[in-house]
Amino acid sequence: MRGNMSDDMLLEVRDVSKSFPGVQALRNVNLEIRQNEVVAFVGENGAGKSTLLNILSGLFRPDSGEIIYKGALYEPANYHDATLTGVSRVFQEQGLVPNIPVYENLFISHEKRFTRLGVLNRGRMSHLAGEVLADAGLEVKPSDITGTLPFPVRQMLEVIRAFAVPTFLGVEHPLVLLDEPTAGLDANETELLYARLRRFREHGSAVLVSHALFEALELCDRIYVFKDGEIVDMVFPKDVNESRLHELMVGRQRDSEYYKEDCQRAPGDRVVLEVSSGCARGCFHDVSLRLREGEILGIGGMLGSGKSELGRVLAGDLRMDGGEMSVFGATIGHPTVRKMLRAGVGYIPGERAIEGLILYLPVQWNMTLPIVPELTKAGYYDMGEEKRIVQKHCEMLNIKTPSQETLVVNLSGGNQQKVVLAKWLAKEVKILILENPTRGMDAGVKADIYAFLRELAANNVSIVLITDELLELIGMSNSIAIMKEGMITSMIEATAEAKPTEKELVQFMV
Amino acid sequence: MEDASLEHSAKPPIAVRRARKADLSRRRHIVSTVGPFATLAFLVALFSILNPEFLTRGNAYSVLRASSALLMLSLGLTFVIMLASIDLSIGSIVTLVGILTAMLVPHLGVWAVFASLALGTACGLLNGVLFTYVRIPSFVVTLGTLSLFYGVSLVIDQNTAVAVTNEHFIWLADGTLLGDFPNMVLVALVAWGVCIFISQRTRFGRAVYAIGGGERMAMLSGLPVRRYKIVAFMLSGLFAGLASALLVAKFQGGNPEMGQGPMLLDAIAAVVMGGTGLTGGVGGPHRTILGALVLAVLGNGMVMSEVGPYEQVVIKGLVTVIAVSLTLDRRQVRIAK
Amino acid sequence: MRLLESTTDRARLMTNVAPIASLVLMVIVFSIGSEVFFTPQNFDNILRQSAALLIVALGGTFVILIGSIDLSVAAVIVFGAMMTAMTAPFLGPAAIFVGMAIGVAWGLVNGLLLVLGKLPSFMVTLGMHSVILGISLILLGGGNTIDFDNELMRKAATAQVVPHVPLIAVWAFAVYAICVLVAFRSRLGRFAFAIGGGERVSQLSGVAVGRYKVYIFMLSGLFAGLGGALLAARSQSANQEMGGTFMLDSIAAIVMGGTPLTGGVGGPHRTLLGVLVIGVLGNGLVLMGVGAYEQIAIKGVVIVAAVALTISRSKLSVLK
């Protein structure tokens, strides 16, 4: 037992730091969680919330610092270990195995408890799972194959599992980590989850990570605010409102200079990209939009609203099942990436490392990938011309790289993203689809990218900006489309003189 | 949902909206369930028409005998394939174990069969450790050990056959413990039952499904993925060892070609045809018996219909590719490498 | 994630130093162990034995560069050799082109199955290995050898333009030079690196990924066919044994050279070194009196070790 602890202390994080190559994910984080308490972690993407959850659930080990849980040093070797001591978690990116029955998922890695003499009693597992499901009010058969259930049900299952496992293991004072548990749930389901959380609190504690700030305000006892890997503040819900909380998170009011709003100009009249009643099965339906020359069209919405799928359809990467799409007045039937590119549409996906860049190839090779055919003359690749083009774009975008031959993996996140941008500039696209172009970047790089997007727009390049960051959405866009449950629910003008507020946007989103 | 099994919940239940996806997976399910039966029926009908000798008691036994070695070999492989891995070395394990077994029979008699099992398991352990701890893709590991085991067997017996004359050992395959059913078939059926038990009623068996279906998630959930992967490779080796022992008994000796040639492709084809896709997570050893029967009927029928040995090689290659392509879950392979 | 932390730097060092170090070490050991090893005649031997392997491995390098694998090369070699031998009496040296063409055709089949069928390449080419070998056995009539006699073709393979350098080695070097140019100075080469390094990225950047994969399998088939044709020309015959250990040897050579199975890095310029390592190893083992059977076992170990040392584990998120 450790001294100097009050009686109801459950978990204490002391000076925990964690870094990854090129990123300081957590810096000297201190926090405490008491028994029967629900605390919230809020912060922008990349602020360090998920890293801390990963440490608490045994997936990462901190570089320094220590964690005290129930009075003892807490160093789980893996998630299984963490659950045995009472910490369970809802994973943001679905932690259920799709091809096995629901009951096996509920008790996965705890099968030992149902095993006697090496024989697994699946009947008992299934029966107990039935009780747990009934208790939670979820109408699912334990024998249903998990992958065949719709997304919200699977999400609920994960939440139920996180609550049920400590009870099933008989651990006292459990701690449940909820990472964006309500993403993709409708109002009914969300309410069910809240009720479950309130009930759970009578015998355990919970951490809630959420982008919906009102959830934190409504459900939690205390709120820790994360920014750039540090805890910048701890507040009580009664002392703050949503906008104040947001201010703490981003550390600033919306700064019109930052987004170069004075450079925003009215778009031209010419429609360059038009979608009418576009539909992608299971993602969005009946979406119509027009993008004009030199316009920055922002698209906002919660996770699962269909906005990123819309981006992929515009890029030709996802099949459009219905509706029509035309670029510069020419209809494009069955859009594919190559067709869209030929029409002048470039796409910068959200997953930079997986979809935007080939990490183990040089800067040069990455930047010229789309123009390899243009650079090949009579079957021979013109490396001199390549060098000139790369040089030009490195200067234009202020890309800091030791040489053109440097592997992209060795650049910082901001420079990497600039290489992706340069790729499409070299291709001279007329329309650019961007998804979360500044995620995880520091303010300086963000400002560079914003200034650059403005310049592009001034040169009559049209931009579709799909983003989770509300301030960016408001600051950059000429007009904003808000998506909800696969439909565009509202179009909001955002001229430089009359920008909407975050609050207004959020109202349309939820 | 047809019957709500949980009426007693007080709160309003969440309506379960089944996705269209479910229909697709059901269709695939039907193809992989009915497919093997249909193929079997078709082949039996075809060969019965082509050759009246095909549908006789004697020939039925020879089909059973031929399929039983293949079944044993494919059973262990099924676990590996369910993990979405592959074991290309089983043929060479059969060779190596076969030769060693044949050499041990004069000393150990019938008990040499346990040596076969142990040797096979040891080979599997080597594969598993190289795969999980040295972290090399399974097809490369087993491609390497394929060469290694084969080379070692050639070195040991200098490319000659080793005869077995011990009648007790030969009885293992040829004796008739039950009616006039060959023992070899009996052993294969018992092995089949054991594998079904392992896959349905043990922690390891259920974990194999979970790992094959979503390795990352299984790992996040805290399953000891590495350990189970090694166990799967050991089972693959174990059953290759068993198959090898019975082949030695059946052919009264071991030789350096006994596991080479078409045996590996046949085993993969049998597993995959039964309905265990290479993408992992689906199927299971209970289904592999059908694949083994299809392959055995095909082989036997081709011989009876006087298809040349080289034509048979071609046909089996085609059959493997077709079987793999029919059972692969393409939603899981966004990138085919 | 802790599970995925990389050892890239060490891996890179291994890829750069290991092949040269092992080559030097082997030369020293074999020179001490055998008087014959370090002689011009043996140099001739090594070159002759390595030439065909180099040609075959160069095609394989592109396949591995895109992250796939071609296990059917040995069968294509047999097929190419056979077609060359069968047509040589009528066509003369032009029969070599028949061998190449038939190789391309098999590569096309492999590539289409991979791309259109979305099947893993090791499975496609394992199955096709059986199909191709079976068909050539049917055409050969089993274990028969087809002999022919064409002096020009024999010369094309064995004549020594420079003392102790057979012409087949000159061809191999020519092919090597072309492959290096293709890898770094052509669309196909650029795209091969890009596809292997990031298939999604390439696709989103407008690369016709499927089409280029098929081209690359055709290239592998082309070189396997050429290898077979030259082997036939050299021995003035073709039989089912000609594929020999080419499949394992070429994979080992490629990987040892420094093109890991994960794809996207390395390249054909490095394969030369790997081929020399394998060539010297085989030659030296024979001279030291190690039997053919032991060599099969040793090669299995070599391939696993080479892969283990060079593979980029940071790129293998899930090991299958």
* Buried b or exposed e, range B133-157, using 16+ CB within 10 angstroms: eeebbbbbbbbbbbbbbbbbbbbeb
Instruction: Find the range with the poorest average confidence among A172-176, B276-280, B284-288.
Output: B276-280
- Inter-chain contact C204–A315, Cβ cutoff 8 Å? yes
Q: What's the pLDDT band for A314 if we cut at 50, 70, 90? A: very high
Residue A326's pLDDT is 94
Give the 3-state secondary structure of residue C162: strand
Cα first-last separation, chain C: 18
Which one is predicted more confidently, B187 or A500? B187
Task: Tell me what the mean pLDDT of segment A437-441 comes to.
Answer: 79
Give yes or no for a contact between B283 and B82, defined as CB atoms under 8 angstroms apart.
yes
Question: For the residues A153-173, what does the mean pLDDT come to?
Answer: 88
Residue B337 forms part of a structural domain: no
Integer Cα distance of C200 and A423 in angstroms: 15
Check CB contact under 8 Å for B221 and A95: yes
* Closest partner CB to C124 (pick from B152, B321, B333): B321
Give the one of B85, B131, B318 whose C-beta lies nearest to C131's C-beta. Answer: B318
- Lowest mean pLDDT segment, chosen from A177-186, A275-284, C163-172, C207-216: A177-186
How much is the average pLDDT of B83-111?
A: 94
What value does the mean pLDDT of chain B take?
Answer: 85
Range of the domain at B24: 2-332
- Residue B226 contacts A, CB cutoff 8 Å: no
Distance in angstroms (rounded) separating the CA atoms of residues C16 and B214: 35
Establish, for the pair of chains A and C, how many residue pairs have beta carbons separated by less than 8 Å.
Answer: 76
Which pLDDT tens digit goes with each residue over A187-225?
778 888 888 888 888 888 999 998 778 888 888 999 999
Query: Which of A262-266, B84-88, B110-114, C150-154 has the least mean pLDDT?
Result: A262-266
Q: What is the mean pLDDT of residues A327-345?
A: 92
Of the residues C4, C66, C205, the best mutation for testing chain A's interface (the one with the most A CB atoms within 10 Å of its CB) is C205
* Partners of residue B25 in chain A, C-beta under 8 Å: 145, 147-148
- Of A418-427, B220-229, C199-208, C309-318, which gets the smallest average pLDDT? C309-318
Residue C204 to residue A349, Cβ atoms within 8 A: yes
Tokens matching residue C125: 């080419």
Residue A138, SS3? Answer: coil
Q: What is the average pLDDT value for chain A, to the nearest integer?
A: 87
Lowest mean pLDDT segment, chosen from A443-447, B299-303, C88-92, C300-304? A443-447
Q: Which residue, chain included where needed, has tokens 């199927």?
A: B283
Which of A248-252, A312-316, B14-18 is the most confident on average?
A312-316
pLDDT of residue C263: 86
Q: Counting beta carbons within 10 angstroms of the beta carbon of residue A490, is it exposed (0 to 12), middle (13 to 18) or buried (19 or more)?
A: middle
- Tell whether B11 is within 8 A of chain A (Cβ): yes
Nearest to A366 by CA among C296, C197, B240: C197
Residue A139 near chain B (CB below 8 Å):
yes
pLDDT digits (tens, 9 = 90+) for C105-135: 999 999 999 999 888 888 899 899 999 999 9
Q: Would you state the pLDDT for residue A167? A: 87
pLDDT surpassing 50 at residue C25: yes
What average pLDDT does range C45-55 have in this prediction?
A: 92
- Better-scored residue on pLDDT, B22 or A186: A186
Mean pLDDT of C272-291: 90
Q: What average pLDDT does the segment B248-255 reach? A: 93
Looking at residue C76, its pLDDT comes to 97
> SS3 of A17, please?
strand
Q: Is the pLDDT of residue C2 over 50?
A: no
Which among B6, B14, B223 is the nearest to A134, CB-wise?
B6
B209 touches chain A (CB under 8 A): yes
**Residues of chain C contacting residue B139, judged by C-beta atoms under 8 Å apart:** 69, 122
Q: Nearest Cα to A41, choosing from A173, A202, A216?
A: A216
Q: Write down the domain spans for chain C.
A: 50-244+259-265
Predicted confidence at residue C11, as pLDDT, reads 56
| pLDDT at residue B15, as a whole number | 34
* β-strands A487-493, A479-484 pairing: antiparallel
* ipTM here: 0.83
Say what the pLDDT of residue B320 is.
83
Q: Which residues of A touch B16 (CB under 8 A)?
A: 139-140, 149-150, 153
Whose tokens are 């067997």? That residue is: B153
For residues A435 and A467, is the Cβ–Cβ distance under 8 A? yes
Residues of C in contact with A354 (CB under 8 A): 198, 200-201
Beta bridge partners of A40: A208, A223
* DSSP annotation string for B282-333: S--HHHHHHHHHHHHHHHHHHHHTT--HHHHHHHHHHHHHHHHHHH--TTT-
Answer whether residue B87 is part of any domain: yes
Residue A125's pLDDT band (boundaries 50, 70, 90)? Answer: very high
Chain position carrying tokens 């243009």 = A374
pLDDT at B238: 97
- Residue A278 vs residues A335, A482, C306: alpha-carbon distances, Å: 12, 15, 51
Strand partners, C147: C237
The pLDDT of residue B332 is 58
pLDDT band at B12 (very low <50, low <70, confident <90, very high): very low
| pLDDT band with cut points at 50, 70 and 90 for residue A180 | confident
When pLDDT is cut at 50, 70 and 90, the band that residue B16 belongs to is: very low
Handedness of CA A235, A241, A244, A250 (dihedral sign): positive
What's the mean pLDDT in A342-358? Answer: 87
Q: What is the pLDDT of residues B29-76, one digit of tens each?
A: 676 677 788 888 888 999 999 888 888 888 888 899 889 999 999 999
Closest chain A residue to the Cα of C205, Cα to Cα: A370
What pLDDT is recorded for position B186?
Answer: 93
Q: Which residue of B has its CA nearest to A161?
A: B221
Predicted pLDDT at A2: 41
Q: Which two tokens stand for residue C161?
A: 């333009």
Residue A319 has pLDDT above 80, yes or no: yes
Rounded to the nearest 5°, which phi and psi values hold at C280?
-65, -40
Q: pLDDT-based confidence at C293, cuts 50/70/90? A: confident
Residue A149 near residue A123 (C-beta atoms within 8 A) = no
Q: Are B132 and C319 in contact (CB under 8 A)?
A: yes
CA distance B23 to chain A (A): 9
Q: Find the mean pLDDT for residues C253-282.
A: 89
The CATH number of the domain holding residue B73 is: 1.10.3470
Q: Would the pLDDT of C12 be above 70?
A: no
Q: How confident is the model at residue A496 (pLDDT cuts 50, 70, 90)?
A: confident
Contact C303 B147 (CB under 8 A): yes
- What is the reported pTM? 0.82
Cβ contacts from B onto C, under 8 A: 162
Q: Kindly report, residue by residue over C240-262, the tens digit of the pLDDT.
A: 888 888 988 898 899 888 888 88
Lowest mean pLDDT among A141-150, C184-193, C304-313: C304-313
Q: Which of A141-150, B203-212, C165-174 has the lowest mean pLDDT?
A: A141-150
Q: Closest partner residue to C201 among A341, A356, A381, by Cβ?
A: A356
- Spatial separation of the C-alpha atoms in residues A302 and A467, rounded to whole Å: 10
Identify the pLDDT of residue A434: 94
Task: Kindly list the partner chains of chain C, i.e. chains with 3 or more CB atom pairs below 8 Å.
Answer: A, B
Report pLDDT for C23: 86
The chain A residue lying nearest C204, using CA atoms, is: A337
pLDDT band at residue B195 under the 50/70/90 scheme: very high
